Amino acid sequence: MSKPIVLVVDDTPAALGVVCDALRARGVRVLLAENGAAARAVLARVTPDLVLLDVMMPGEDGFTVCTALKAEPAGRDLPVIFLTAVDAPDQKVRAFAAGAVDYVTKPVHVAELVARVGAQLELRDAHRKLEAQNAELEAEVALRLDAEAQLASSLDRAVIVLNRAGEIVFATRLAHGLLAKFEVAPARLAAVDRHEHGGGALRVRHFTEPGRDDTTMLVLEEEQAEPGPAALLQFGLTPRQAEVAYWVAQGKTNPEIAVILGASPRTIDKHMERILARLEVENRASLIVRMTGLLRVG
């Protein structure tokens, strides 16, 4: 776990030497800046976890520096504790209006200041963990919604359910693909066991419930078809993961796969994380090599 970082902005940092030593003793990395310009230079290189900011400084005072820091993306959520020798209510109000989370008067009581810093660092760490959990939860919800929305298209068989008029009631993605490839109407397939087109052939299996003729289920199978996503199920992938892995093997990027499968790029990214973990490969290139022989890519 990395050390928390505290940026101390004071035109006489030696005056806070005892405070800095106490923070370092608690495992905090302390950075020093003598004015606002120096503080911004530090922020350009490092994002601290907290800022101890003196109010009375030559040139820009602490209020001006704090306002400028809060205007920057790196400092927007950065907790700032003001240090000042002025213990006046209007100064405290002004400090909080500028974006401070706390206000400590000088001369500081070292133990108290260190405790206040520690409390803010714990709050910041808890906030980060909550954000990470929320991001993970959002990703999980996206995966579940995607799974529900794509249930029909995730099945690894070409299944069609027709009503009495020969119209589609339900069809998987693979079934839609075969209908388009063989340029055939579903009602036509309801009357045949085999359909030929463009040098290829489609076998049709019929299933009906005894005593009912309101619906008919057809299972389509392409003769001598090239391996598709279903071939990757043997790796222990879910149907949706198999689809994603298949398109990766075809050289598609995650954004392109998102368009093809009608999902969000973030959802595809999450699927990829799980595919790599499931197949115990480190990256996209290793995944493609793993699948090349099976899918005869190239």
The answer as to whether 146 is a domain residue is no
189/15 Cα distance (integer angstroms): 87
Nearest to 54 by CA among 2, 113, 5: 113
CB 230 within 8 A of CB 222: no
Residue 193 has pLDDT above 90, yes or no: yes
Residues 11 and 123 in one domain: yes
Residues 188 and 159 in one domain: yes
Rg value, the chain, Cα = 32
pLDDT digits (tens, 9 = 90+) for 37-69: 888 888 888 889 999 988 888 888 888 888 888
Beta bridge partners of 16: none
Residues 217 and 245 in one domain: no
Residues 62 and 16 in one domain: yes
The mean pLDDT of 217-241, rounded to a whole number, is 81
Tell whether the torsion through CA atoms of 72, 23, 102 and 9 is positive or negative: negative
**CATH number reported for the structural domain that contains residue 234 in this entry:** 1.10.10.10
Residues 124 and 10 in one domain: yes
Residues 205 and 234 in one domain: no
The answer as to whether 137 is a domain residue is no
Q: Of 222, 240, 266, at which residue does a domain stop? A: 222
> Angle between the 239-249 and 265-279 helix axes, to the nearest 10 degrees?
90
Residues 184 and 275 in one domain: no
Residues 186 and 260 in one domain: no
How confident is residue 276, by pLDDT bands cut at 50, 70 and 90?
very high
The answer as to whether 71 is a domain residue is yes
Tally the domains of the chain.
Answer: 3
Element (H, E) at 220: strand 215-222
Nearest to 197 by CA among 209, 210, 188: 188
How confident is residue 141, by pLDDT bands cut at 50, 70 and 90?
confident
End-to-end CA, the chain: 45
The mean pLDDT of 170-185, rounded to a whole number, is 84
Residue 80, helix vs strand vs coil: strand
55: domain range?
5-129
CB 68 within 8 A of CB 57: no
Q: Of 179, 207, 222, at which residue does a domain stop? A: 222
45/239 Cα distance (integer angstroms): 45
Residues 110 and 13 in one domain: yes
Residue 156 has pLDDT above 80, yes or no: no
The residues, any chain, with a CB within 8 Å of residue 104's CB and separated by 6 or more, are 81, 82, 83, 84, 112, 113, 116
Residues 89 and 116 in one domain: yes
**CATH number reported for the structural domain that contains residue 195 in this entry:** 3.40.1840
Task: Give pLDDT, residue 297.
Answer: 45
Residues 239 and 213 in one domain: no
CB 39 within 8 A of CB 65: yes
Residue 296 has pLDDT above 70, yes or no: no
Residue 298 has pLDDT above 80, yes or no: no
Tell whether the torsion through CA atoms of 156, 157, 158 and 163 is positive or negative: negative
Residues 182 and 280 in one domain: no
